[in-house]
Amino acid sequence: MPNLPAPVRLLVVAVFAALLTTSCVGDPSGGSDGDAGSVGSTPDPTSTGAPEPPSNDPLPWGPTEAELAKAQETVRSMSPAELAGQVIVGRWHGTEPATAAAMVADLHLAGVQLTGDNIVDRAQVSATTAAVAEAFERSGRSFPPVIGVDQEGGAVAHLSGISAEFPPFATSGAIVAQDGRAGRRTVRAAMRAMAFELRELGFTWVFAPVADVTIGDADVTIGSRSPSSDPKVAARAVRAAVEGYGDAGLVSTTKHFPGHGAATADSHETLPEIEVSREQLESRELPPFRAAVQAGAPAVMIGHLGVSSLAPGVPTSLAPEAYDLLRDDLGFEGVAITDSLGMGAVLTPGRRPAVEALAAGADLLLMPANTPETHGVVTRALKSGELDRERVEEAAARVVAVQLWQQRTSRERNVPDDASARAAAAAQDLLDASY
């Protein structure tokens, strides 16, 4: 070593020793093939080893990473009874707001659906949604409940007589086919207006749009509820509708995956058997659902259908193959909700549709035939280990996350003071554009 002053020599020696030590550190197991700490690696001096916090960037289905992380943390602390409730949208009887509110509170439900039998007039609907929201908040949950309604337009409109009367969704499909991009704008604006009126009434979800491609007269259930018999037209109409509902901060539910339009039997009564190849499924039934996913659909409803190329004889709502198709093929990451579990297609001896659906991949169980009984069945299955808690936590977290999205977006997008008038005008715009 050159004749350097002592302090400098000591500094040089220390630096050399440090470099030598660093170059000799390799894989703790003795390997030296490029693992962290081996020769050539350059550790980040600012790294603490802590994971990156979840971002506020939106996921493809609406919520942000941070909202999903908050939801996951929330459901981890739930008891089996609370967790079971958080994956059920209840069926209730009567028209008293207190009845619906008590069911949500007692069973820790995600929320309720209002059907025609639960509806009297506009004031009673608003009182019911407010009572449910208040009961939900009193339970300690800091996100809104699922309060849903079938409001497709046409024959399926449970708020008929107390809200704007929209034409059937087939009208929207015809406008899209006729007017192209301008037609899509008309449909999107109409669904946005409908959504704001639903929010004014206290709803957070709508069970629409219908994405089924109808086969015409042999289609005994869907008919004019379908946007079109042309998959491309149906896809464009569905995309416009999903975007319109989302614009207004309402959770839409694209239905009935993987497609009810080719069924020649009614799943309310029995299990429709659909003979269709995977190629036919891909080319005809799935394009509208793909369009919905690409448009950011927050929820997709799984129909009760026996599809020969998926799981013959098994309702798609209870078949893992259907959920795999939705997740893996279409890339859907949001809430998969069953069609009503009170329908004939799944009410067969020996079946426990709630447990089977959750195990297959469902995130939310819609309107079981007996809500308290179903809550008990799911709770017991969680306690016994028959239902994997991690699977149900995954389901509940998706539901909570989409409700956090609904809470945030509804605060950002205020309901107009004249929401009802705007909805009526939008419904008329659809009728005018269809001529």
Unique residue bearing structure tokens 């008038």? 421
- 363/43: higher pLDDT: 363
In DSSP notation, 40-78 reads T----TT--SPPPPPPSPBPTTS-BHHHHHHHHHHHHT-
The C-alpha angle 107, 315, 213, rounded to 5 degrees, equals: 110
pLDDT at 373 over 70: yes
Unique residue bearing structure tokens 């009410």? 347
**Whole-number Å distance between alpha carbons of 269 and 425:** 37
Own/partner contacts of 173-176, CB < 8 Å, gap of 24 or more, are 173/226, 173/227, 173/228, 173/230, 173/233, 173/234, 173/237, 174/228, 174/434, 175/430, 175/433, 175/434, 176/227, 176/228, 176/233, 176/236, 176/237, 176/240
pLDDT tens, position by position, 390-401: 999 999 999 999
Average pLDDT, the chain: 90
Q: Which of 27, 93, 121, 268 is catalytic?
A: 268
Q: In the structure, what pLDDT confidence band is assigned to residue 52 with cuts at 50, 70 and 90?
A: confident
CA–centroid distance for 410 within its chain: 17
Q: What is residue 48's predicted lDDT score, i.e. its pLDDT?
A: 57
Q: What is residue 54's predicted lDDT score, i.e. its pLDDT?
A: 87
CA–centroid distance for 13 within its chain: 63
Q: Which of 260, 339, 363, 375 is catalytic?
A: 339
pLDDT tens, position by position, 331-340: 999 999 999 9
Domains and CATH numbers, the chain: 1-50 (no CATH), 65-433 (3.20.20.300)
Mean pLDDT across the stretch 244-257? 98
pLDDT at 121 over 90: yes
pTM of the model: 0.88
Annotated active-site residue 339? The verdict is yes
Q: In the structure, what pLDDT confidence band is assigned to residue 51 with cuts at 50, 70 and 90?
A: confident
